[in-house]
Each structure stands twice: as structure tokens, then as C-alpha cells.
Structure 1
Amino acid sequence: MLRLALKTLRFRKGGFLASLVALFVGAVVVQACGGLLETGIRSDVRAERLAAAPVVVTGSQSYPGQAVGDATDPMTERVLLDERLVDVVAKVPGVAAAVPDVSVPITALAGLPVSASGHGWSSAPLSPYTLVAGAEPAASGDVVVDGATARKLGVRPGAKLKALVRGVPHAFRVSGIAESRTATGAALLFSDGEAARLYDRPGKIDAIGVLAAPGTDPAALAKAISAAVAGHGAQVLRGDDRGVAEFPDAISGKQNLIPLAGAFGGLATLVAIFVVGSTVGMLVQQRRREMALMRATGVTPGQLRRLVMTETFVIALLAAGLSLVPGLAFGHVLYDVLVDQNLIPDEMLFRQGFIPRLAGFGVTLVAALTAAFIASYRVSKVRPTEAMADATLQTRWVSPIRMGLAFLFLAGATALAIVTAVVMTGPIAASTAGPAAMLWAVGIALVSPGLCRWLAAALRRPVGLLTGLSGQLAMMNASVRRVRLASAVIPIMLATGLATALIYLQTTQDDASDRMFNDGLKADAVVGSQSGALPPSLVDTFSRLPQVAGASASVSSEARLETVLGSGGTATGRVRPSRIDLQGVTASGARQTIGHPAVQGDYGRLTGDSIVLPTNVLRDRGTHVGDRVRLRWGNGEASTMTVVASFTPPRGFGYAMVPATALLPRTTSGLLPQILVKAKPGVSPADLTTAVRNATAGIPGVVVADRARARAQAHGDQTGRVASFLLAAVVVGYAVIALINSLLVATAERRGEFALQRLIGTTRGQVMWMMSVEALVTALVGILLGTAVAAGALVPFGLALDGSVLPGGPVWIYPTIAGTALALTFATILFPTSLALRASPVEATVAP
């Protein structure tokens, strides 16, 4: 059977190539997405500055306590260690030295924005750093600079170096230059006392680097240290895991990458299964006449199915082998795009091992063999005396299995649409609206022959009247050969529907975010910095300006409101956390700069351990202004907060407000990114901007933006948009490849039909006009069904987001998508038609 399958493939090069392309691209996309998912799961980060320490102890990012619900989500800010753990670790057998390490954010050096960190000199052996010039820092104000940074800035021992530490200007004397073979980032090494002062976290440290005694096994040492620090909120790392302690952004990168890669890979896998299945199924259906002839000459149903399955297996095996290298390369391309857009840190190592490659092979192989079996099953079961007549015209498409699957997919899409519109609120509704689009697409594709019959019937009279005899013939073809029409329509529907849904999901969310920004901001100016950090003291400086009515810090983070679970009034120690975004503000300027007024209470009381909650959160918790709530900050610390006010944020965009002075020390970097400033009545924007700039004249890199520029910057900072458009580009790009592939093959297969028409007197121009009408009808039907797919996702999403049934975003997006689909359809139908018409009619009727 294998020999026969290889011989048949030699004489069906077009079908062979079409199957190979669909299987190859599907395997590449699935492997690339699998590589991203493996990268997120592993979260390997190679140690650089801590490379000399075989074991590193850092704070555990796991949710503390006996939490339920979403308590498995890790903390979003760095969890610090108690510095007393250094002595505990040092006493573990096999530990030569336990070295505490702190990291101080340096945002600018010599007036240039940089991403650097400061550390105590005692942590230099963890790299190790070796002095190559000068001396170690002996006093406050001394600093050792890494060699690469020293060469870039042109500094030598004895030189003065200005730096911004968390946005605050400092001046240091360069006491020495140090080199490291492993550390690549810019680093300043202070005296230990200076590092602790700049770190400003009394009693806390970032990590402990463990230097092992000679002959000590790192795995056994890590196990012993884990036992010693158990119950202290610490985690022990070795190998590539050590980099997490050095690059805490890898934690948020993991949180970004795993759901993104999961959604990306899931949708790409569904599209791959669908495209591969439909392509292979279409190619098998095109061979119905050949299979009918084989049945009439005595071939058994089992032999026919084995032949088709063997052919498909050979093509799938070849495609899988060819996809291994491109799958790895494409995974790297997707990874690089995400790194460039700061969705994941570049220190996270890309991993694509055996499992993603096996998944890509398995998905394409199973989809291809399943489609081949289903497509060949009906022909193989037809009696030989009926096979030839049955092969002349494809009209039957309904089967119990097909209708059962259609019911399941359409019911699932309906359920997701209802959940999106009724249960979900805000941007999170996209998590159900996106999968709904795919379910709608699959469900509609399964019943597409019936839908195509109705739509073709509806278009038959108007199109026939406008296009003449050739157009009437085209409409007769479309009405009678509805199964073939459906095969051509499905890729158009898939590309149009997914492109419209995925793009408008993001643009609609962007529009809603813009409206929230406008409604939530009363400030006339937003002050930021090219370095990403401002001195917190600037808030008071701005507040004292005669042109300013109020100024407020603005810093974001994430936390959990905890509900303690107990029985009979006795707490059990278990909590139910509820995720909530935090906005750090300044009490004295919150009322003037925040657009959402207080419903109860007063923003001016937002000092100390206090919090302002949305009215719906208070209602759901049964809490009132004046009550106390338990808050788990992003760094794992817990506080009891007094509710001093409530407000009503836009639906789906809820957040809580806390004092910025309380939030800043509980963020990983401790950086203040921006300050909101409100002008006094009668002060023009130009006068306000001038006053603010004069007040910050001694601080490099300060940027003052008015409301319009601030909105544009906020819109541009939404890096999630890149992920959404990348997803749309890859998935829709694959669907477009399937569209071109399917229509080229479907049209080229009709050479005999074109030749027969020409033999009875039809001209080449009439055939081209007939196919132009068919291309128009095919495109229109596909675009209509694709629009229905997109509407099934966008309408519920709009209702959940802001109650609108129309998507937000540029109007030209939909006409562009539809126009592109129309152009591709015409090109992929008319081009092979023109090639087929080049041969003489007699030659075409006998050509294989």
C-alpha cells in the first residue's frame, strides 16, 4: 500500500503540494507557540551578577498563608527577606559564606538614562567583581563602577559621577573600576553602609548569595538550606533558576507569557486543526471520481481508506520533518518581538524542547489523518454500481457526526457569548470573547454547505440580472455545487472573521481605556521623566507653586483584598483573596487631579493605613466607609486598612487608591513614574508648564505633558496591544495562507470543466467572466459569514465593556479586511483559471 501511495502522489503534485504547505505551516506555528509556552513555564534566567554563587536564597513569590481561590497566583512585586536569615543560612553545613545582597535602582548616570543597579561592595564576590583600577569604596560617597560603564562614560578613579537613585540626584566619587566575566548590566558598587542607606528598606534584603565550601554538592546544599529557612517565606534557587533573584522582572514576564502563550497556542492549534482538516478533506473530495472508478473496478472500502491514509501519513511525516528548523526559528522570532515590546525580559532564556516539537507533529498528523479518514469514509462505503454516478455531483453533506459537532461548537460559542455579555466586565471579557470567535468559526464552517445554499439562492437573481448569461451560469454552479462552494468559502470566512474579531477586540478596549483616562484625569499636566523616575519630594514642590491648585503622585501596583474565613467567629487562618489594582496618590492633591469624585468620605483623609475602594467592592463585601479591611500588598506584606472614602470607577476598570508614600516602598523598584498637576483657575496651560519646568530645572530628563500628550503616551504604553496584534497577525496570516492554498487548488481542479465549456463554443472571455462572478459570490458569502463570526464575539464584548454593540476603533479596519479578502479571492481564482485556459480544449480534457 505504501508503494501504491507513493506512485499516486507522483501524479498528483498539486494536491501533494497543497497538503504539504498546510501541514508544514500548521506544524511551524504550533511548535513556535509551544516554545513560548515552555519558555514561560520554565522561566529560566541565567545568573550573571550572582553567577559565582551556586545557591541563592530569595523571597518566595508564592501567595503566603493558606489561601484559596486565586491564591496560587504569585505576588507581583519582589518579596524581601529578613536580614536575620543571613545568619541562619551561614550556619548550614557546607556553606563557606552567606552574602547578603541588595539592589538599588539607578535610573540615570552622567545625565543619561540607564538601567543600572547599585549594590554593596561585600556582594562583589558573588559575580565575582575584581578591581582593575583604583580601590574599593571606603566611605560614604565612594563608588566602584563596572568596566563597561566606566568606558562608556569616560570616567576614571577620582572622577565625579552624578547619578539618579530612584529619581533623586546624587554625586559620587569613583574610587575604582571593577570587571566581571559574567555580569553584563551596568552596576555601581557602594560601601555597605551607603548601599543600605540608598536601599532604604530597614531590616530587609533582596537575596542571599551562598558560596559553598570546597567539595560541597550544590543540590545537597540547596536541600539543606531549604530545610533551614522553611517557614521564613524564602525560596532556594540553583542552576538557571538563580537568575530570578537577580532579575525580578522575570516573574512578571512569566505571568505575561504563560497566559499569552496558552491563548496564542490554543487558538493557533484550533486554526491549524481546522485548516489542515479542511485542506486535506477538500483534496480527498476532489478525488471522488478517481475513488469511484477504483470502487467500480473491485477495490474494497478498506483498501481505499488505507490508500488515502497512507498518502496523508507520508505527506504529514515529510511536513513535520521539514518544520523542525523553521518551527524553532519562528519561535525565536515571536520571542524577540515580545522582548522588544517589554512584555518579557530579555534575560529569560527561550526554550523549545522535545514536547513543543512533538505537539506540532502530533496536531498536524492527527488532524490530517482524521480528515482523510472522514473524507474517504463515505466514498468507500458507496456501492460500486452507484459510485460513478455519486462522484459526478457533490450534494450530500449532512451526517450525524457533523451535525453533532456543529451543535456542540455553536452551543459552546453561544454559552461563551452569554458569559461575556452577562458575567464579564471590562477588558477581562476579551478572555472569553476571543475563544468565542473561534467556536463560531468552526460551528459555522460545519454547517456552511447549508448556509451557502441559502446565501447563493438569495444572491442568484440580483447577480444574474447584473452579470448576464455567464453570471447566471456562475450562480447555477454556486447553487448546485454548494459543497464545493463551502470549501472555498470557509478559508475566507476564517481569515475575515478572525482578523475582524481579534483586531477590533483590541481597538475597542483601547477606546474604552482612552475614555477611562479622560474621565479619570482632572490634571492639566502630567510630569514624567525620561529615566522613568521622579523624586517624591517634587509633589510638595509643585503643591507650593502659586500656579498649582493641587499635585499628586501617581504609581500603580496590584494587591489582594483578603477575607478571613472562619467558623463561629473563630478565624481558621484561611483567606479568600480578591485581586484588585492599586493606584498610589497624594491625599492633598487627589481631589483636584482625580476625575472620579468621592461618593462617600474624603480623599483628603488618604494617609497612613487608609484606602479608597470602589462602591461595588464595598457593596459586594458588605463593607462601609469607616470599616477596616485586610490588604495583601504586591510584595506579600499584609496591612489592615481603614476605608476612608468610596468612588465609582468606569465599569470593568475598578481599582483602589492608597497613599503613594505607602505604596512606593512596597513596589520592586520603588520608582515614582509620574506626578499629576492641576492648575489654579485662570492659569493657562503654557504658564503651568513653564512653572513646572522651572521647578525641575536641576533634575535631568523631566518631561511635562498636557492632557492630550499624556493620553497618547498612556495609549502607547499599552504593550498588551502588541501581543494582541501579533496573535492576529500569526493566526490570520495562517488563515490567509490556507485561503490562497485552497482556492488555487480548487480552481485548478476544474480544468476539465473549462475545456468542456470551450469545446461547446464558450470563449475564454466568457469563462473568465463566469469565474469572476463566482469569485465575487464566493468572497461575498465568505465575508458575510466572517462578519457573523466577528459579530458573535464583538457584540457581547462591547456589551460587557461599555454597553455598546458597535466595536470601537478606526472605521477603515473592516473595509480593509473585507477588501483584502475580496482581492485575494479574485487573484487566487482568476490566476489558475487563466493558466488553465492557455491549453487547447482537447489537451485539457485528457490532461491528468
Structure 2
Amino acid sequence: MSMFALAWQTIRARRTAFAAAFVAVFAGSALITASGVLLESGLRSGIPPQRYAAAAVVVTAEQTLSTGDEPGQRFAERVPLPVARAAGIARVPGVAAVVPDVSVRAALRGPAGSAPLVAHGWSSTRLGAGTLTGGRAPERPDEVVLDAGRVGDVAEVTVGGIASSYRVVGTIAAGQPSAFFTDEQARVVAGRPDVVDAVAVLAAPGVDETDLSPRIGAAVPGVATATGDDRAAAEFLDVGAARSFLTVVAASFGGTMFMVVLLVVASTLGLAIQQRRREFALLRAIAAGPGHIYRLIGIESALVSAVAAVLGVGPGVALSLWLHGVFVRYGSIPAGFGFVIGPLPIVAAVVGSVLSAVAAGLIAGRRAARISPVDALGEAAVEPPKLGRGRVLTGWVLAIAGTVAGIALPLVISGTAGTAGAASSALLLVVAIALLGPRLLTATSSVLGALGLRHGSTGFLAGANTRARSRRLGAATTPLIMGVTLAAAQIFTVTTTAAAARHQTETGLLADQVLVADGGIAPAVADAVRRAPGVTAAVSVVRTQVLVTAQMFGEPMTEGYSAQGVTPDGLGRVMHLDVRRGSLDGLTGDAVAVSENAAGTFGVNLGGTISMRLGDGTPHNARVVAIYGSGLGFGDLTLPHDAVAGHTTSGLDDEILVAGAPGADFLRAYPEIRVTDRKSFATAQNDAAGAQSTVNLLLNLVLIAFIAIAVVNILVLATAARIREFALLRLVGAKPRQVRAMTRREAAVVVVAAVVLGSLAALPPLVGISLSLTGAAIPAVPPLVYLGIVAAAALLGWGAIAIPTRFALRPAAVAAMRVGE
């Protein structure tokens, strides 16, 4: 009989054991597929262009910072392109015309209030932006064409709350509320007379855009060209941000997921192989060598995992589409951003799942293949009493390393490196528990026995069985411990971060009122607020993200950090940043204040210099004048307002923090501006920040759901394989209710071990993360959430043992003894 035929017969004869492996690989393949779809979508997907659909090529400034071999870091704000570049682009052979384009968020003020619209230059109508239905094109700076109104009317168009009057010289049928100025006036309205957002290129007849694009790039150095759907990235900045988000999520979530899948599959196959000790012992006794055992296990694993991996692709694609809806709902990606579902993620998921299963099976079958035939026959009846010395040593080393990394690293290494080290310690501790599981389970059983929870015959049987079958029960318990650890670590990291950010925002915002407006507030409004009666201080705030390059683990790394620009006068009256060292009085010119966490990441102190790229990529060197504690609530860097405002896409302020209150006359003069109180604004800020936390939490819940499936799967496997054991107990006088009581005691040991050991394993990373982010050693652990984790562990562990036990007790004892013979 060939090895393939033998493997196939074994699979058919041991459906229960291989069904468990099938389920583990099936679910793992679904997760790998979903992660692959996210990655490919981040690299290749986008949305179709709208305003630039008629352009063959769209030319912009470089929107990314090249970082060597790594993917370029995107700038948070639009990098403008000098309008003078349009002339050079127009001279490139094959270019029929160029359209320098700007887009400005504005509003049309009317008797019923202000209606939002988007302003452009008139030449953008060549891209199909609309059709003139009356009047003429604008020719003077004080003229405008609107999609509503009458020719000859005077219209008030506001940008950032500042109104300007224009004479309506034409009407246009546009797809959205729009205003069209002369090209020069559109750039003035945008606040940047010498730059544009992009240059749309119309190709000459017969010229292919794939040939024209590199020709433009060669003729006009320092620009970026886009064709096809990539043109949308020039039109919508959030397309590039969405790609970066998906790439980061796929890399971080996918890496953790793959390790967990490998551990779960290894545990499942390991338990299945343990239950086949009798079979492998007989094969060794009839002269089967280690190579034969390895080949048999490898073929079995490959056959089962190949089918499971292929079938898991469909649910994986469905999971990615569900995640797409979640990302859109919480604003992580734009609504029109589609996912790419190509063959590469599917092939990678199938191949990765099969290779992982085969590798896990070979590792789990190492002892069965290498042990001598005589010892194999001995172990077929009784599990080996001791774990291997190497396994125990490795487990304790990882346990110590994980504990030290979780708690000590944030105390020794400040900043992001310390936080990352604390977070990664959870995986080290999970692996340590997987290696030491049998010993830890036996210890838990002994402690419960000492507490008097193992009294009576059923308690005695449960304790004896736990000691005798510690390897089997340890392998079955490991996924449940892993689930408790990861659930606690991931969920309470989010709650700790959110609670700290909420506390910093609520205690640090001192303003009596906050002024906000859709699209932003013009800087001139803040000057008017300061002159208003009843106002003692008014601080303009503009928010952005900067790129800072710092040394991490001896290598330069560039990361994005949240930043705010503020006017220094009266800052202490409206904002408390919890300054630890230095002073905010010197926050002018090239000064910067940084959070404690960022200072540790950058390796700077007072007087040090930080080299950064502002939101639009402009290099900026800043001197540290203060280090503060409220980085989660107000951003990692605080810069002077003038250093930031000119380097954002709109050039407008996000809000104005006011001490006192401007009068009603002032508010009537700026109807686009809304007034909110301190509490409402802080709540809105926390809700906006919580959206990203919710996305992270949902991603982790997907992983935890996989672990829950694995827990049920492996515990059912372990319990269902005990039919003959239960039958033997019944033949020697035990009643079914006594057998069920025994397994309930065993389930109690499993649940208690999972909750206690899982909680202990989650504690070091949580303490370390809390120390790194908040300076306090106690993480924010909502009691009801923790009780929910405990209840879920109890329900999964108890149900996955109790229900299969009832099924295993259904056959008559004599008939059940023949199972597996």
C-alpha cells in the first residue's frame, strides 16, 4: 500500500481528529485571505477619478517622502505645485493643453443661511466640470459664475467665515454646488496665488497616456504623474491615506494573526497526534522508520489542509468585504474606495495555510517519529510523565523575557520603542504558556485541590485524570488561555489609551467657548474675536500631522505624529498641556513643545533639535522649549501657529479657543461659525479619536473570534476522543451522572487555569503600556468588560467539554469500548 493510500485511509478512519484540524486550517485560511485582500487593496486599489476623469495625465508635486527601500511616507496635507510648472508641462510633445487646477471649500451666503460649495478656476470647466447655461465666463477678479442665482446679482462667497462680494456674470450646470472664478482669483481665494493643487493634462489626438506620463516626468523633474485610477489620488487626498492605512493594518494585523494561526493549528494537530500514540507505536513496532512516520504525517496534513485552505478562501473574501464596510463606516477609507480581490492573496492564503499545517504537523509528530518502538508501545497506554527539558527551559525563558519586556522596557526605554516592547511581550507569554501548559494545568489542579474543590469521588477522578493526561488537557487549554490573554491585552490597551486621552482632553481644555466651522476658520476671524467685548483670550488652533525621523534600535525611522499649531498669547488661559519641563512662553519662531512620550521616542530633551517635515512636506528644524504630559489629548507636538498654518491644505484654523465670550453682534457677523461649550467640544474630539480605536478593537475581535472557534474545536476534539475512557468508567461502576460530574470538575480546572493564567499573562504588557502612555502602572480595566471576558471563557470552556461528554455517553458502554479498536 502506498503512503498516500495509507494517509487517505487514516483520514477516513479518524474523521473526528482530522475534522478538528480541518476547522482550524479553514478558519486560518479565511483570516490569511482577508489580510491578503487588505494588503493588495492598499497597494493597488483606489477610486475612479471624477473631476480629472477627462485628463489623460494628472501632474502633482511629490506627495510622499522617500525613505530608502521602504514604501514612501505620505504627507498629511496637499503638497502644492508651483503654477509656473504648467508652462513646462505644456511644452512636452503630445500635450494638447494643460489645466492648472485648485479646489477651495467655500459657502454662498444667502437669506436662508449659508450653503456649502466648492470654488475652482474657470479653466477647470475644460475637464467637463459643467456647461455654461447663461451669461459668460468670469474675466475680472470680482466676477463669479455660479450653479444657482441670476446673472447680474451680487453674491457673497465666504471662505473660512470671511465673506467677499462678487458679481454673478454667468450660470452653469454643474454636478455639485460650485463657484467659478478666474484662474488667478481662484488661487487668491485659496490663499496661495503662486501654486495650484494639480495640473490636468489633455493629450493630443492619438497620444497614449502611458507614453505621455513618463515623458512629462522626464521633461519636468520633481513632479509626480498619475494615469488611470491613480488620478483620483491627486483629486482626493484621502485615497492615499486609505492606501497607507490598509497597508499598515494588513502588515500589523496580518503578522499577529499568522503567528496565532500557526499556534492554534500546531496545538490542534499536536493533540490529534497525541491521541494516535497507539497507532504510531504499532507502526514503529512493525519496522516503520522515522521517515515513514514523518511522510505519513506530512501527507495527512497536506491533504486535510489543502481542502480546508481552498474552502476557507470564500469566507475570507466575505470577511474582507465586511471589513470594508466597517472601515467606510468609521471613516478609515472613503466610501468609493473599492477592494481588489485578485488571485495573489488567494494563492498566498492556500500555500501559507498548507505549509503552516504541514510544518506544525511535522513538529508535533517529532516525538512519535523519533522514539524507539519499545518506548512507543509504553507511551501508547500512558502519557510520558515529564515534559522535555528543552521545552521546559524554553518556556521559562520566554515567560521571564515576556514579563521583563512588558514591565521593565517602558521604564528603561521611553517612547514608542518601550510601548512596542511592552505590547509584543504578550505574544512571548502566550508561547511560554503553550510550552508550559501541562505543568501549569497540573499546578492549577493542585491548588484547587488544596482549596478543597476536589472533594468526593468525582473530584478525585478529575484531579487524577488532569495529572495523568496533562499533555492532552494542556494542549486543549492553550487556545483558551491564549484567547483570554489576547482579549485582555488588546481590549484593555484600547480602554487605557482612550481613558487617558479623554482625561487629558477634559482636564486640559480650559476655554469657556470653542468656535468651529465647516471647512475651517480664516485666521483673520481670530483677530476679530480678540477685539470683541467680553473676550480675554482667543487662541487659534490648527491641527496637522508631521513626519519626524528618529533613531529607533540604531536605525533611522520616519513616522507620522499628530501636531497642533497654536498662538502663544493667552494659551495658558484656554489650554493646559501639563508641562513637565521647560515653558510654553517661548513657543514662537522655530520653537516646539513635545509630549513626554514623543521626547523619549526622538531622544531629545530641552534645548534639543527636532528635524521634521511639516504637513505639506516642508523641512523644518525646531528647538525644544517644553516637554508636556498631555500628548494623547492634544497631540505629540505643539508648534507656533504661524509655523503650521501656511503648510496645511486649506490654510485655515480648525478651531478658536476663547476665554470669555464674544457678543451676539460678533456671531451675527460670522453666521458660518458655530459656538460650542468646552464639554461638548471635548466630547466631540474624544468621539472622533474613538473611531480609530473602534476599528482597532473590531480587528482584534476578529482575531479573538478565530481563537474562540479554535477553543471550541480543540476542546470538543479532546473530549470526543474519550469515549472508551468514559465507557471503561461506566463498566467499573460509575454512573453517567458521575462521569458528567467528573468532566465538569475538569472543565472548572480548564476555565480557572485559562482565566488566571491568561489574566496573568496579559498583566505585564498592560502595565508596561500604561506606564509608557500615562506614567501610571494601573491600566484602565472596565470591570464589566473583564467579567465579559471571564464569562466568555467559562461559556466556551464549559460548553465545549460538557456537550461532547453527553454525546460520548450515549452509546452503551460495551459498544463504546469497541470504538477505536
TM-score (norm 2): 0.89
The residue type equivalent to 1:448 in the other structure is G
- Deviation per CA, 1:537-583: give whole Å up to 9, x if none: 442343334433211122212335799xxxxxxxxxxx998976432
Determine whether 1:710 maps to 2:697.
no
- Paired residue for 1:685? none
The residue type equivalent to 2:731 in the other structure is L
CA–CA distance in 1 between the matches of 2:35 and 2:775? 34
CA–CA distance in 1 between the matches of 2:605 and 2:488? 42
Check the 8 A contact 2:274/2:472 in 1, yes or no.
Answer: no
Check the 8 A contact 2:539/2:571 in 1, yes or no.
Answer: yes
- Alignment match of 1:265 (pick from 226, 243, 254): 254
The residue type equivalent to 1:675 in the other structure is I
- Paired residue for 2:593? 613
- Deviation per CA, 1:16-45: give whole Å up to 9, x if none: 322121101101111211221222233644
- Paired residue for 2:360? 371
**Distance apart, 1:725 and its partner CA:** 0.2
Determine whether 1:120 maps to 2:121.
yes
Check the 8 A contact 1:499/1:817 in 2, yes or no.
Answer: yes
CA–CA distance in 2 between the matches of 1:693 and 1:734? 57
- Paired residue for 1:73? 73
| Residues 787, 655 of structure 1: alpha-carbon distance in 2 compared, 3 angstrom cutoff | closer
| Residues 259, 419 of structure 1: alpha-carbon distance in 2 compared, 3 angstrom cutoff | farther
- Paired residue for 1:220? 211
| Residues 751, 171 of structure 1: alpha-carbon distance in 2 compared, 3 angstrom cutoff | farther
Determine whether 1:204 maps to 2:195.
yes
CA–CA distance in 2 between the matches of 1:109 and 1:408? 69
- Alignment match of 1:165 (pick from 126, 136, 159): 159
CA–CA distance in 2 between the matches of 1:419 and 1:351? 43
| Residues 764, 557 of structure 1: alpha-carbon distance in 2 compared, 3 angstrom cutoff | same
- Paired residue for 2:20? 18
SS of 1:73's equivalent in the other structure is strand
- Deviation per CA, 1:471-506: give whole Å up to 9, x if none: 121111112211012112101111100000001111
- Paired residue for 1:768? 740
| Residues 83, 821 of structure 1: alpha-carbon distance in 2 compared, 3 angstrom cutoff | same
775-784 or 219-228: which moved more?
219-228
The residue type equivalent to 1:747 in the other structure is T
TM-score (norm 1): 0.86
- Paired residue for 1:498? 486
CA–CA distance in 2 between the matches of 1:311 and 1:601? 66
**Distance apart, 1:631 and its partner CA:** 6.0
| Residues 69, 675 of structure 1: alpha-carbon distance in 2 compared, 3 angstrom cutoff | farther
- Paired residue for 1:33? 35
SS of 1:460's equivalent in the other structure is helix
| Residues 562, 297 of structure 1: alpha-carbon distance in 2 compared, 3 angstrom cutoff | closer
CA–CA distance in 1 between the matches of 2:191 and 2:5? 76
491-500 or 576-585: which moved more?
576-585
- Deviation per CA, 1:575-620: give whole Å up to 9, x if none: 998976432223333232121488999867766x453434976996
587-596 or 649-658: which moved more?
649-658
Check the 8 A contact 1:457/1:479 in 2, yes or no.
Answer: no
- Alignment match of 1:834 (pick from 786, 794, 806): 806
**Distance apart, 1:222 and its partner CA:** 1.6
CA–CA distance in 2 between the matches of 1:602 and 1:509? 26
117-126 or 171-180: which moved more?
171-180
SS of 2:30's equivalent in the other structure is helix
| Residues 160, 385 of structure 1: alpha-carbon distance in 2 compared, 3 angstrom cutoff | farther
- Paired residue for 2:725? 753
132-141 or 37-46: which moved more?
132-141
- Deviation per CA, 1:704-758: give whole Å up to 9, x if none: 3333333322221113202320222111111111011111111111111111111
SS of 1:783's equivalent in the other structure is helix
**Distance apart, 1:516 and its partner CA:** 2.3
- Paired residue for 1:129? 129
Check the 8 A contact 1:101/1:119 in 2, yes or no.
Answer: yes
CA–CA distance in 2 between the matches of 1:70 and 1:2? 44
CA–CA distance in 1 between the matches of 2:349 and 2:333? 24
- Paired residue for 2:553? none
- Alignment match of 2:537 (pick from 533, 550, 559): 550
Check the 8 A contact 2:121/2:182 in 1, yes or no.
Answer: yes
Determine whether 1:346 maps to 2:326.
no
| Residues 603, 749 of structure 1: alpha-carbon distance in 2 compared, 3 angstrom cutoff | closer
193-202 or 112-121: which moved more?
112-121
- Deviation per CA, 1:429-482: give whole Å up to 9, x if none: 5433332212211122112122222222222232445x4221121111112211
CA–CA distance in 2 between the matches of 1:598 and 1:12? 66
Determine whether 1:675 maps to 2:677.
no
CA–CA distance in 2 between the matches of 1:826 and 1:799? 36
CA–CA distance in 1 between the matches of 2:409 and 2:195? 44
- Deviation per CA, 1:353-399: give whole Å up to 9, x if none: 33322332233212211222123332233444443331122235634
- Any gaps of 5 or more consecutive residues in structure 2? 551-555
Determine whether 1:660 maps to 2:641.
yes
**Distance apart, 1:170 and its partner CA:** 6.3
| Residues 448, 602 of structure 1: alpha-carbon distance in 2 compared, 3 angstrom cutoff | closer
CA–CA distance in 2 between the matches of 1:157 and 1:420? 69
Determine whether 1:584 maps to 2:565.
yes
Determine whether 1:721 maps to 2:693.
yes
| Residues 578, 749 of structure 1: alpha-carbon distance in 2 compared, 3 angstrom cutoff | closer
Identity %: 32
- Paired residue for 1:790? 762
CA–CA distance in 2 between the matches of 1:774 and 1:415? 32
Q: How does 1:523-602 map to 2 (within 5 A)?
A: 523-529=511-517, 531-559=518-546, 581-596=562-577
CA–CA distance in 1 between the matches of 2:772 and 2:610? 28
CA–CA distance in 2 between the matches of 1:711 and 1:263? 30
CA–CA distance in 1 between the matches of 2:375 and 2:697? 51
- Deviation per CA, 1:321-375: give whole Å up to 9, x if none: 1122222221222232122212233344422433322332233212211222123
| Residues 187, 488 of structure 1: alpha-carbon distance in 2 compared, 3 angstrom cutoff | farther
The residue type equivalent to 2:98 in the other structure is A
The residue type equivalent to 1:377 in the other structure is R
SS of 1:704's equivalent in the other structure is strand
Check the 8 A contact 1:611/1:656 in 2, yes or no.
Answer: no
CA–CA distance in 1 between the matches of 2:356 and 2:115? 50
- Paired residue for 1:468? 456
| Residues 432, 141 of structure 1: alpha-carbon distance in 2 compared, 3 angstrom cutoff | farther
| Residues 8, 606 of structure 1: alpha-carbon distance in 2 compared, 3 angstrom cutoff | closer
**How many residues are matched?**
804
- Paired residue for 2:171? 176
| Residues 161, 410 of structure 1: alpha-carbon distance in 2 compared, 3 angstrom cutoff | farther
- Alignment match of 1:781 (pick from 747, 753, 759): 753
| Residues 597, 416 of structure 1: alpha-carbon distance in 2 compared, 3 angstrom cutoff | closer
- Paired residue for 1:566? none
CA–CA distance in 2 between the matches of 1:584 and 1:734? 43
The residue type equivalent to 1:557 in the other structure is T
CA–CA distance in 2 between the matches of 1:421 and 1:202? 48
84-93 or 11-20: which moved more?
11-20
| Residues 404, 332 of structure 1: alpha-carbon distance in 2 compared, 3 angstrom cutoff | farther
- Paired residue for 1:2? 4
| Residues 453, 115 of structure 1: alpha-carbon distance in 2 compared, 3 angstrom cutoff | farther
- Alignment match of 1:311 (pick from 300, 303, 310): 300
Check the 8 A contact 2:407/2:764 in 1, yes or no.
Answer: no
CA–CA distance in 1 between the matches of 2:549 and 2:434? 46
CA–CA distance in 2 between the matches of 1:441 and 1:272? 13
356-365 or 108-117: which moved more?
108-117
| Residues 536, 16 of structure 1: alpha-carbon distance in 2 compared, 3 angstrom cutoff | same
| Residues 299, 581 of structure 1: alpha-carbon distance in 2 compared, 3 angstrom cutoff | closer
Check the 8 A contact 1:425/1:801 in 2, yes or no.
Answer: no
- Paired residue for 1:395? 384
